[in-house]
Structure 1
Amino acid sequence: MSEPSSFRLRPSALSRAWPWLAALTSGGLLTLCFPRWDQGWLAWLALTPLICAAFFSHTAGRRVGLRKAALGFVAGLVFFTSTFHWLSTTLSELYQNPWLLALAPLVALVFGFYFAFWTWFIGAVLVRADAARKFPRSLSNLATAAAGASAWVAHEWVRERLFGGFGWNGLGVALHRDLPMIQIAEFTGVPGLSFLVVFANLMAVIVVRRIIGEIGPVFLKRVRWEFSLSIALIVLVWAYGVRQLWRNDLGPGVPLRVVAVQPNIPQTEKFDPAMQERIFSELAKLTGLAAATRPAAQLVLWPESSTPRSMFADDQSYHFVLDQARALSGALLLGSTEFDPDTLADYNIAALLTPRAGQPRIYRKMHLVPFGEYLPLRPVFEPFCGELVPSDFRAGTEFTVFDLPDPRIRIAALICFEDTLGELTRRFVQKGAQALVNLTNDGWFAQSAAAEQHLANAVLRAVENRRPLIRCGNTGVTCAVDAYGRVDRWLRPFQQGFAARDVHVPTAGPLTFYTRHGDWLSHLSMLATAGVLVRALFAWWRGRGARRGSLADGAASR
């Protein structure tokens, strides 16, 4: 008895479904590359299902480009919703506002277009001329992979800057624990790591497809040197990293005795005026214990927005901070806020108080977090999340570098998410910073993956600039990252306490190539991507003219 036709899996149904399943798979694999799962090794193959769908599905018919873009959008929707889910879950619970549950999906809906562009680019532009998708020529294959990797780097660069920018979890960040591979960041920054990973994913698909197409009598007669060159590139990067880690030599330096205070104030209490006395008491207790440590601390750190109100808000807050600083033999660096009566603006600041200085030195945060420190398009979004951002901070304009009296070194204070921005951080090092300090408060996001993702993104700043990064968080992650990306965790997250450590600060290290030239690879990638698009546009225009000519000739012959 024959099986009913309704229960048969027809090839046409499978051919329609597999590209979407592949897109979903890539979105899921990309999510696993980052904390809380942190399986960075998956980055080397996470994009291959999406690339297969872009290359080998919907190769004919109408709206081919739109279908390719839709595949990328689906992958991006899965990745950004899942990897940034903490935006919705933690903030909606903190503010008891169900509207905030839509925050992560809304971010994903916007960011999904970046993946859509990339999948359209590789599937509808790069391989348009190769209808069979057999990839028979080595040089052409290398160019295809390089162009595809350039387009990926280009869209990550745009994501970091457009609409205030939120460049967290670029693909290269997935390698943050792979110390040998990330050492090239001193030349290329994170864009170089992203380029390498995407290039490897593309070459994996291209080489396998070429091998499958050439199985037969001529299989052993063909030289596929694009495979050899790709492996050689990865091995070369790894070998350079091993060499740098083995040498472990940044030149002369001095030890800096640092005490980081982690007060672990719950976010529901942190800005409550009724809790001010309790918070002052906790800070005073921890700072007093820190002052008693031996050898004496040369730099004591409090996290971002240490006190419930600005240290300049009233005499009580100001004198509390001054009294704590005077009790120390070293400097105190803390996060606070400042109101400028001249500009009538609020600033998120870091303030340095030293034993000999009369007035604190101030750095005003330059990169503000959208929907955190200011509300874009406030008239539109205020009904939904105005409670989240009741007023806007103003961005600072000066790359302030602080001078410590003992030892005589220069440090830069990066506030909140600023240590995730390579282009911003390198400017401080250009100004003379020998060590980087991050003051942050990730308590907003409770015990989610946000704090670990923040740290993963920050690790690369130390490698890019060959400068140590010291992090002090209200709830964590309080740690130090050395100039090679090795993380030394000082306190467990959500543990109240302080930690005293010596941090080696290089005093004569040269500026790295990345520090001097910044995101040069991103700029080249933008140019390369634009060049491919212009070439494709001219090819389409010529083809359109040729088709019109042939139609006219046919009409005339009739």
Structure 2
Amino acid sequence: MRAGGSDAPDAMTEAKRAAGWLLKVWPWFAAILSGALATLCFAPFDQSWACWIALTPLLAAIWFSGEGGKRRGARDLLLGYVAGLVFFWSAFFWLHTVTVPGLVMVGFYMAVYFALWGWLAGLVRPRAFVSVWKSGRMPDFRPNDQPLEAPSPWLSSLRNLGLAFILACAWTALEWVRGWMFSGWGWNGLGVALHGILPIIQIAEFTGVAGLTFAVVFVNVIAVVTVRRFIAEAKVAKRRPHYDFTLTMAAIVGLCAYGIRVLQERPVTKPLRIAAVQANVPREEKFSQQFQGKTFFQFARLTRLALATKPPPDLIIWPESSMPGPVLEDESNHRFVMNVAGSMKSDLLLGSIDEDEQGAYNAALLIPGGVGKPQVYRKLHLVPFGEYVPGRHAVPFIAQVVGNQVPGDFARGKEAVVFRLTNGMLVAPLICFEDTLGELTREFVLRGAGLLANVTNDGWFLRSAGAEQHVNNAIFRCVESRRPMARAANTGVTCFVNQFGRVAQVLRDARGSTFTEGVLTGTVEVPTSQRLTFYTRHGELFAKLCGCVALIFLVVRIPQLVRRKSGNT
């Protein structure tokens, strides 16, 4: 031991150093935690409860750490960006089975939306929040940032509700922009995490997924301010009413009550017998002429199984790109498909490659029973880094990085084509990820579609969470439009979904896996009413209104901050 007991000061110095280090790093760990919690909401974990708290660590890090100053905005941006990187790289990790560079680039780009929200959260952060941890006094949000000794509980609650409203609008608007900017990638919005809670998702017929996202973010913000107030009240040993929390919970209960009432409705429907074929063709065999005979045999055998069911199906669906090449242009593919279609009375809907002088298209065909004239739909929304490479010709570097994995680009279709079955029923042919796009799906419904039919091939992602995430995003199209959906996947999730978003039937093997070969047969109840939902008529109006609110707030708020900084200098 040193003379004079100098070990004690050394220990105190080390403790202070450790405490200082923790104060610096905990915000970054909190941002990482938010990204991880957001990932936990989606397949393969599917922990929907996590969405209600996913943003709370990030928000706490932005509001309750660090000092003010010119660099604070950049710090808030970076905290949000870190949370976004963690989320997108982990939630979409299955993309590595197709393109590792694409996964990296998607993460770098998508994280920008988290970053922008983090910056805005810092912008609306009341500076008095910091004083809560130091003095225990209730904060005021007035421009002079002087805390009130005893603010009205209603006034405090209204301020918190306003704060939650602005941040929920901003997040909802950013998710909407993410869904269309640069072709768009709107998967796994926070509202999608609620896909399995049928009562609450019924509001999607008015707001789309955006309304659910708004509710989730609103609850996250209210959770943070409520915990903050509890801590502040504990320090002064005084409890006060939390009207903001109570009103928020009442609103969520109200949404669930509405959904329960909707789920009890029994609309008039017309039964349609459907057989969805899942051939489970390995991706390395998919477009190989070497395996053409094997592919023909698989589809012929599975189609015979479908036709053997009683009563026979009205519609048989083969998945996306079911044949190893174009059907209408390739003689052998054309002969095989027409022979199968000519041998049955059922209509045949299949995914195919289509070609013309403009290029190749990812397409869907409907061949009426008895070999009527084929109806053709060419895909409108192409998947970046899957069906085309953004900036391939404008930015040579991108072509060098991913060009070997995506050697050519599909051409884009021109219009939404609705197929007419032999019995007169109208069908929306959605290809691949198009069933995750609400704005696109409503275009088909506005043209009279009563059934949504998705042909897809999630086999590109092997046995990953990509297939399950796909269907979880897709079921919201049924709620938004009040139309049922039949999905036929090459492999992944072949299923039938009713108009309330309930997955009614799923093709599984004896072990419960959806990655199998087989035929899913069943009766889909198609509503006879042509009623158009609010969402079908108006699309993403709710998200656009949220965007307007966020923009108006920024237009008003930023000049205030500039004037305040000018006054302080």
Give yes or no for TM over 0.5: yes
Does the CA-based 8 Å contact 1:442-1:474 persist in structure 2?
Answer: yes
1:523 matched to 2:506? The reply is: no
Candidates 455, 458, 462, aligned match of 2:478: 462
CA root-mean-square deviation: 1.8
Deviation at 1:458, TM superposition (A): 0.5
Does the CA-based 8 Å contact 1:64-1:124 persist in structure 2?
Answer: no
1:164 matched to 2:183? The reply is: yes
Candidates 428, 438, 443, aligned match of 2:454: 438
Partner of 1:496: 517
Does the CA-based 8 Å contact 1:302-1:333 persist in structure 2?
Answer: yes
1: distance between equivalents of 2:236 and 2:516? 66
Q: Which runs of 5+ in 2 are unaligned?
A: 2-6, 133-137, 141-155, 509-513
Candidates 517, 523, 526, aligned match of 1:505: 526
Candidates 260, 265, 274, aligned match of 1:242: 260
2: distance between equivalents of 1:359 and 1:240? 45
Does the CA-based 8 Å contact 1:125-1:533 persist in structure 2?
Answer: no
Equivalent residue letter for 2:289: P
1:270 matched to 2:289? The reply is: no
Identity %: 48
TM-score (norm 2): 0.90
Equivalent residue letter for 1:353: I
Q: Which runs of 5+ in 1 are unaligned?
A: 92-99, 549-558
- The within-5 A match list for 1:346-357 is 346-355=360-369
Give the secondary structure class of the aligned counterpart of 2:179.
Answer: helix
1:478 matched to 2:477? The reply is: no
Deviation at 1:170, TM superposition (A): 0.5
CA separation of 1:421 and 1:303: change in aligned 2, threshold 3 A: same
Deviation at 1:218, TM superposition (A): 8.3
TM-score (norm 1): 0.92
Partner of 1:103: 102
Does the CA-based 8 Å contact 1:135-1:210 persist in structure 2?
Answer: no
Partner of 1:229: 247
Partner of 1:15: 23
2: distance between equivalents of 1:216 and 1:382? 59
1: distance between equivalents of 2:517 and 2:47? 29
- The within-5 A match list for 1:69-88 is 69-88=77-96
String of CA shifts for 1:443-465, please: whole Å, max 9, x gaps. 10000110001011001111111
Equivalent residue letter for 2:414: T
- The within-5 A match list for 1:135-174 is 137-174=156-193
CA separation of 1:482 and 1:389: change in aligned 2, threshold 3 A: same
Give the secondary structure class of the aligned counterpart of 1:488.
Answer: strand
Partner of 1:554: none
Deviation at 1:488, TM superposition (A): 2.7
Partner of 2:55: 47
Partner of 2:220: 201
String of CA shifts for 1:374-398, please: whole Å, max 9, x gaps. 1111133222211222211111121
* Residue range with higher mean Cα deviation, 12-21 or 166-175: 12-21
2: distance between equivalents of 1:59 and 1:203? 23
Equivalent residue letter for 1:161: W
Equivalent residue letter for 2:333: S
Does the CA-based 8 Å contact 1:58-1:68 persist in structure 2?
Answer: no
* Residue range with higher mean Cα deviation, 473-482 or 128-137: 128-137
String of CA shifts for 1:469-526, please: whole Å, max 9, x gaps. 1100001200011111111343122211112101100011511111111111111111
String of CA shifts for 1:202-230, please: whole Å, max 9, x gaps. 0011122123223477834x443212211
Does the CA-based 8 Å contact 2:102-2:402 persist in structure 1?
Answer: no
Does the CA-based 8 Å contact 2:495-2:520 persist in structure 1?
Answer: no
Partner of 2:535: 514
Equivalent residue letter for 2:442: R
1: distance between equivalents of 2:81 and 2:127? 20
Does the CA-based 8 Å contact 2:433-2:470 persist in structure 1?
Answer: yes
Does the CA-based 8 Å contact 1:26-1:50 persist in structure 2?
Answer: yes
Partner of 1:372: 386
String of CA shifts for 1:403-454, please: whole Å, max 9, x gaps. 1122x32110100000001111111111111110000001100001100010
String of CA shifts for 1:298-336, please: whole Å, max 9, x gaps. 000000000001102322111111111111211000000
Does the CA-based 8 Å contact 2:341-2:371 persist in structure 1?
Answer: no
Give the secondary structure class of the aligned counterpart of 1:241.
Answer: helix
1: distance between equivalents of 2:444 and 2:406? 28
Partner of 1:551: none
2: distance between equivalents of 1:132 and 1:513? 46
